[in-house]
Structure 1
Amino acid sequence: MKTTLFYGPWQCRREFMNNCQKECARESLPLKGCMWLADFKFDWEGSLVLLPVPVEAGSRYGIYHCCCDYPTLPKVKKEVERKKWDGIRESFRQKWSKKFGEWPEEGDMSWPGHHIRDLWHGGDPVDPNNIIPAQPAVHDEYGRQYPGCYAGQAPWNTVGPDRPYTDN
């Protein structure tokens, strides 16, 4: 199994925006915006068990964030949540590595884990489905762009292309 990560942030395609509208409506919150954070590309090579035939397969999985009008946590509560993440960070990276391949590093430094639903807006600090590895510069960019998404600003409040990157 080989995992390739493509990073935004990009405007959400129509499917993601529709899903966000439903997600926010389920919580009785208005949708402010949608941000497509990354695409995971999974490639697999192997052979069939019954026939010794080589097989290749692959899939993609888009990671996006719905900027519903979530209430924000007080700074003290956010710091409590951050400490929970600090307490499991290394074990989380090890588990992630077993499933998807080595946790990415830049030099001797591990990439940060990005909380898709950020801690300030009530994201779960230890939910494995809420954390992805992000290059340090990309992680910083997410931090710069999230406020605009939560404020309902362009481009996060409009639909973007189906695939905003090339992988050739």
Structure 2
Amino acid sequence: MAATSTIRSPASAAVLLALVGCGSATVGGGGSPARAKWVGSVVRTPDGGQLRTTIYYGPWQCSAAFLVRCESKCAAQGYPLMGCMWLADIKGDWQGRYLFMPAEAGGRLAITHCCCDYPKVSDGKWRRDTWKNSRNAFRDEWGREFGGWPSTGGVNWQGHHIFDLRHGGAPVARDNVLPVPDDVHGVLNREYPACYAPGGQWLKPGPERPYVD
């Protein structure tokens, strides 16, 4: 039998859906395999069901629809859009009972970042130090809900800030930190400055379905 852990509250059961502020529902499709993939352990939900989470990692260029949404978001804050990065897809598969019958449900959520032309913040050191001092507790809490923070060879994966700290991202917000393997984190760190630069590839639309499972 697969190992399971228990989600401790209905709010925690929906923690992945909190990321909807950073993404949109998607479906799997064409393209090349994702750069990396993580399959979580089975987690028990408050309704007595079981949930397994899978994360597919890019980054990919945003679809035309995501670019339009980002452009509107940036304009509402008074900034032009410089680029849009599709960082990952989170897939949830639920099994349980509904009306006393076996039932299954699931879906995917695209995690994107709109690179609005934000000014760099002056308190970047405070934000970095806040994350450094809190990341162990953050990983432990995340792991209690999802069966363990991802690791490779006993080394924890990095926590990537979707809205980067340099431009004002929250250091320990639950909906702003995504576990990523080291190689993907390196790619993201290299590409974020390009996303904020004018005229780059991240302002060009990509496919609706950029990867295969």
Alignment TM-score, normalising by the size of structure 2:
0.73
The one-letter code sitting in structure 2 at the alignment partner of 1:40 is I
Residue in structure 2 matched with residue 66 of structure 1 by the alignment: 114
In structure 1, the residue corresponding to 2:188 is in which secondary structure?
A: helix
Residue in structure 2 matched with residue 105 of structure 1 by the alignment: 151
The correspondence of residues 36-55 of structure 1 with structure 2, limited to 5 A, is 36-48=86-98, 50-51=99-100, 53-55=101-103
Residue in structure 2 matched with residue 56 of structure 1 by the alignment: 104
Answer yes or no: is 1:15 the counterpart of 2:65. Answer: yes
The alpha-carbon deviation at position 68 of structure 1 amounts to 0.4
Q: Which has the higher strand share?
A: 2
Q: Where do 5+ consecutive residues of structure 2 fail to align? A: 1-50
Matched residue count: 163
Residue in structure 1 matched with residue 210 of structure 2 by the alignment: 164
Query: Does the 8 A contact of 1:3 with 1:101 survive in 2?
Result: no
Q: Where do 5+ consecutive residues of structure 1 fail to align? A: none
Sequence identity (%):
48
The alpha-carbon deviation at position 28 of structure 1 amounts to 0.1
The one-letter code sitting in structure 1 at the alignment partner of 2:52 is K
Question: How far apart are the structure 2 equivalents of 1:154 and 1:148?
Answer: 6
- The CA RMSD over aligned residues, in Å, is 1.3
In structure 2, the residue corresponding to 1:129 is in which secondary structure?
A: coil
How has the CA–CA distance of structure 1 residues 100 and 153 changed in structure 2, closer, same or farther, with 3 Å as cutoff?
A: farther
Residue in structure 1 matched with residue 81 of structure 2 by the alignment: 31
The alpha-carbon deviation at position 97 of structure 1 amounts to 2.4
Q: What do residues 54-84 of structure 1 show as CA deviations (whole Å, max 9, x unaligned)? A: 211111111000100010134xx21111111
Question: How far apart are the structure 1 equivalents of 2:153 and 2:146?
Answer: 20
How has the CA–CA distance of structure 1 residues 15 and 99 changed in structure 2, closer, same or farther, with 3 Å as cutoff?
A: farther
Answer yes or no: is 1:3 the counterpart of 2:41. Answer: no
The one-letter code sitting in structure 2 at the alignment partner of 1:138 is V
Give the one of 101, 107, 129 matched to 1:83.
Answer: 129
Does 16-25 or 93-102 show the bigger shift?
A: 93-102
Alignment TM-score, normalising by the size of structure 1:
0.91
The alpha-carbon deviation at position 131 of structure 1 amounts to 0.8
Q: What do residues 91-134 of structure 1 show as CA deviations (whole Å, max 9, x unaligned)? A: 22222223333211011111010001111111111111111111
The one-letter code sitting in structure 1 at the alignment partner of 2:207 is P
